[in-house]
Chains A and B, each alone.
Chain A
Amino acid sequence: MTAKKNSDKNPEPLLPKIAAGDAGAVDECLARYKGLVWWLARQYAPLEAEDAVQEIFIELWSNADRYKPELSSESAFISMVARRRLIDRRRKAGRRPTEESLEPVLWDESMSTDSHTVEAGAEVALATRAIRQLRPQEQKVLWLNLHQGLTHTEIADSLTMPLGTVKTYIRRGLIQVREMLESGKLEEARL
């Protein structure tokens, strides 16, 4: 991912500007988020990543008015739109065409939480807290799914774990993140 060091953790959203017709914001949007979208595309559609990133950005710009700052950070919205599009692509393709290493990089407390990529918004801090409250195996399953882009079945195979357990762990993780986002208790979530 493009290492865009961003000292401003809450940069001004760009999609509302694009929706208002600010052409300059299109370039800014591309510069700010292309690393994130490219990374996502490589995770979910490595053989079609080039087409996918263009497709995603065109969709984002064309629907810029759909972004609601009160509901999420811009990076979360962009990630959500990109994921939706990439998941569609993966389903169309039938399967992920190449396998990344199934060896997970385990959650490491010492890992930097300083943002090198996108703004470390309040919601990301909350999600981090929620994830850390999960059991290690649950964290690993969620990580394999969300970060490595593995399907539920692939996770079950790689960890020799029942598919139902994988689904349960993912469900538990997402629900915990959602509940944390609903609580909005940012101060407690600060790392």
Chain B
Amino acid sequence: MSWTRLPHEPLPRDMRFQDLLVDRATEGLSVEQEQELCRLLLDNPQVSAGMLELPASVAQLAFVQMQEASRLATAPDAELPEHVDAGLSRAAEAFKAQMAAAKSASSEASEAADGDTRDVEVAGRGTVLPFQPTARAGASKAPYASSEDPFSHGAPAEVAVVQARAVSWSGWAAAAAAALIAAVGWWRPLPEPEVRTVEIPVEVPARGPELAEVRAAQDLIEVPWKVLEDPTVEETTSGEVLWSNQLQAGFMTFEGLAANDPSEFQYQLWIFDRNQDEAHPIDGGVFDVAADGTATVPIDAKLAVTDPTLFAITVEKPGGVVVSSRKRLALVAPVEQS
């Protein structure tokens, strides 16, 4: 499919809101501005954080195109230096090696499957991609890479305060604020995704560490839930996330979360990771809450979690989804960066 036109998205009337969107698209935001934008986005879910990013990029291309001829005549050094070109070629070769390794691993996993499959709904994707380097390619530092993680956030690690609804969100790290903006932007309701049925192998879950083991982990991450706007939560709803990168295991606790009928809806956890594409958070599994409103739920991360920045709970249809409809966000737990 080729581009025809950009889908219409209403521009917020609030001039301050517009200014923040412009600043984000043209020169980035400070920690305080990110938090301010975050609050506005939470109140205006129809607006996406990046709605002016594409116009800025296309306008930039228009300028480039218009002035390229004259610029080339006056700036011959704009050509890539040889060593830069060589570095890019090495990066491409290394990336292709990763692709080959991923393909090989995928092929082996496919052969190892015992053929026991079941039908599941996969929303939005339609098919399982034969190669998805997203999860790992940015996680480890390749020898050709620069000194920074290409998936790191730009905001400095400063503590700040965010308020959403009547809840005071104190102790946020800046990176968590950035992650929340990503989450809110990601959360903007999308058109109903196409739903197809595909077959995937049934995996027998391995038994993970117990709660006490996670609590005793040296790298334990312990973050309380923050309440957002959803009928399933009250201001008194509480609980926390416990996670260990070393153990690749964790638990969630809840008190005062609405009980659910699994035939009507279920809760689903999403994990935002610094080393993971922020548009595609890691699926942390679906779960239910008993009538008393309490639950202790093991986290079932579908990919490796190496540097989590935000845990988020959505309300989804029974069985959960691969791509969220992004309509109901109940709880978040931003991880304060050390």
Contacts and interface: CB of A to CB of B under 8 A. Distances in A.
A124 B28 contact: no
A142 B59 contact: yes
B-side interface size class: 35 or more
B151 A59 contact: yes
Give chain A's interface secondary structure class.
helix
A108 B64 CA distance: 13
B60 A178 contact: no
A19 interface: yes
Given A42-B78, A73-B3, A184-B6, A61 B65 contact: no
A99 to B, nearest CB: 16
A183 B8 CA distance: 8
A127 B55 contact: yes
Nearest to B132: A65
A157 interface: no
B277 A127 contact: no
Interface string B110-140: 0000000000000000000111111001100
A21 B55 contact: no
Interface string B141-164: 010111110110111100000000
Contacts of B67: 105, 111, 147
Interface of A: 1-3, 10, 18-21, 23, 26-27, 30, 34-36, 38-40, 42, 48-59, 61-66, 69-73, 75-77, 79-80, 83-85, 87-92, 105, 107-108, 111-118, 120-124, 126-128, 130-131, 142-143, 145-147, 151-152, 167, 170-171, 173-175, 177-178, 181-184
Given A53-B84, A111-B70, 16 more contacts: A1-B71, A1-B78, A20-B129, A51-B147, A58-B95, A66-B277, A75-B61, A77-B57, A90-B28, A112-B66, A117-B68, A127-B55, A127-B61, A175-B11, A178-B6, A178-B11
